Chains A and B, each alone.
Chain A
Amino acid sequence: MTLLRLIFEFFKTGLFSVGGGLATLPFLYEMSDKTHWFSHGDIADMIAISESTPGAIGINMATYAGFKTAGILGGICATLGLALPSLIIILIIARFLDHFSDNRHVQNAFYGLRPASIAMITAALVNVIKVALLDLNAYAASGNLMDLPRVIPIVMAVILFFAMKKLKWHPIVFLGISAVIGIILKL
């Protein structure tokens, strides 16, 4: 019974949260108030954990809440519940595109969607840059523009940029090297 409720609650979250991981947050707070499966503090912890593990906040929260409520099986059920609505919707859209991808209007829609998609990705990049390459707190404290850039990470980013152009290694290799550099330099 608990398992079914877990699936149902996270199914709803998956169905109504549009626009990526953080969009699940308001639903998670609501669920916390209603079910007491996890606390607001748990959500804050999970945001931190999600930043340092692969996987989106919504997925991670589902696994976490499911596990706390009903063990390993609960974790799995809640996560699948969250994933199910988007799975169904995407399948329907994919079917539609199979049939209509040559349609002039669909083609034209993508003519507009692709620049929007890149713009959105670029906006996401700005958000990562704010955390990784800039020190907004130091800048806010001192008001001095010189405190804004984090010098070492920026130098590292420039080196990485050219290294990636030269060496066609897998991104995982660069991610691993960057993690080690982060530990060594105490970034």
Chain B
Amino acid sequence: MKELLELYVAFLKIGAVNFGGGYAMLPLLEKDLVNKRGWTTMDDLADYFAIGQCTPGVIALNVSTFIGHKKKGIAGALAATIGFLTVPILLILVIAAFLTNFAEITVVQHAFAGIRVCVCVLILQAILRLWKKSIVDNITLILFLVIFFLAAAGSYVLPFKVPAAVLVIASGIFGVLFGKNGKSGEKGSGKEASR
């Protein structure tokens, strides 16, 4: 019970400050869950985000469910997911009831312009740390470049936008076909990721 409460509170905190979309959650997860509590590793997080991207639903919720499940099974998954939802639900209820023009308030706009700058830097740092563990050779580097190009600029160059789910599934298949991880390797032991 104590562990479930811990999970709930940990994700409540992350849900409360998770501005800027699902990926902005990565630095928060890294600080709180990888470094401080050691509940998961950066490797696992990269996996969760990949899967969260190609399964239905909000990425942040998918990742919460994964970590909760890893820590404490189904009850843990529920605790983490509901924890993550708590503050956004409360906030929107308050905004819907009282503050109809919330997003137009000037102070709010300035504050969030500042927060967005910070979110850029936070995400960049998380990418740099993930990079070392995931871009391990030329094949993975090329894969990164191709997927990045398709995800970021694909819609300008191609006549259609390749759905993220397609990109993720294709990369998984590519890995199965060309990956050379013979055995279980070092997955799960990735302590150095938590540094």
List of B residues within 8 angstroms of A114 by Cβ: 43, 46-47, 50, 130, 133-134, 140
- State how many angstroms separate the Cβ of B54 from the closest Cβ of chain A: 7
Interchain nearest-CB distance for A174 vs B (Å): 5
Do the beta carbons of B122 and A89 come within 8 Å of each other? no
Within 8 A of A (CB), among B134-152: 134-135, 140-141, 143-148, 151-152
A75-B93, A87-B61, A179-B111 as given contacts; A112 in contact with B178, CB under 8 Å: yes
Contacts of A83 in B (CB 8 A): 57-58, 61, 81, 85
Q: Mark A66-79, 1 if CB is under 8 A from B, else 0.
A: 01100010011001
When chains A and B are docked, how far (Å) is the Cα of A118 from the Cα of B102? 33
Whether B85 contacts A59 by the Cβ 8 Å rule is yes
A113 within 8 A of B: yes
Q: Does B183 contact A (CB under 8 A)?
A: yes
Question: What is the bound-complex CA distance between A126 and B156, given in angstroms?
Answer: 14
A126 / chain B contacts, CB cutoff of 8 Å: 152
User: Are A108 and B181 in contact (CB-based, < 8 A)?
Assistant: yes
In the complex, chain B residues whose CB is within 8 Å of the CB of A16: 56
A115 touches B147 (CB 8 A): yes
| Contact residues in A for B61 (Cβ distance below 8 Å) | 56, 59, 83, 86-87
Q: Does B5 contact A (CB under 8 A)?
A: no
CA distance A87 to B61 in the complex (A): 8
In angstroms, Cα B110 to Cα A84, docked, is: 35
Q: Does B187 have its Cβ within 8 Å of any Cβ on chain A? A: yes
Cα-based distance from A154 to B177 in the complex (angstroms): 42
Contact status B115-A182, CB under 8 Å: yes
**Smallest CB-CB separation from B163: which chain A residue?**
A19
**A53 to B, closest residue via Cβ:** B91
Kindly identify, within residues 84 to 110 of chain B, every residue whose CB is under 8 Å from any CB belonging to chain A: 85, 87-89, 91-93, 95-97, 100, 102-104, 107-110
Number of residues of chain A lying within 8 A (CB) of chain B: 92
**Once bound together, how far apart are the Cα atoms of A181 and B111, in whole Å?**
7
Give chain A interface residues in 63-112, CB to chain B under 8 Å: 63-64, 67-68, 72, 75-76, 79-80, 82-83, 85-87, 89-91, 93-94, 101-102, 104-105, 107-112
A21 within 8 A of B: yes
B23 touches A67 (CB 8 A): no
Contact indicator A122/B49 (Cβ below 8 Å): no
Complex contact A179–B172 (CB within 8 A):
no
A166 at the binding interface (Cβ < 8 Å): no
Q: List 6 A-B contacts (CB under 8 A).
A: A54-B19, A75-B89, A111-B140, A111-B181, A119-B167, A171-B122
* Chain A interface residues toward B at CB < 8 A: 14-21, 24, 45, 48-49, 51-56, 58-60, 63-64, 67-68, 72, 75-76, 79-80, 82-83, 85-87, 89-91, 93-94, 101-102, 104-105, 107-129, 131-133, 153, 156-157, 160-161, 164-165, 170-172, 174-175, 177-183, 185-187
B residues in contact (CB < 8 Å) with A: 15-24, 26-28, 31-32, 43, 46-47, 49-62, 65-66, 69-70, 74, 77-78, 81, 85, 87-89, 91-93, 95-97, 100, 102-104, 107-127, 130-131, 133-135, 140-141, 143-148, 151-152, 163-165, 167-168, 171-185, 187-188
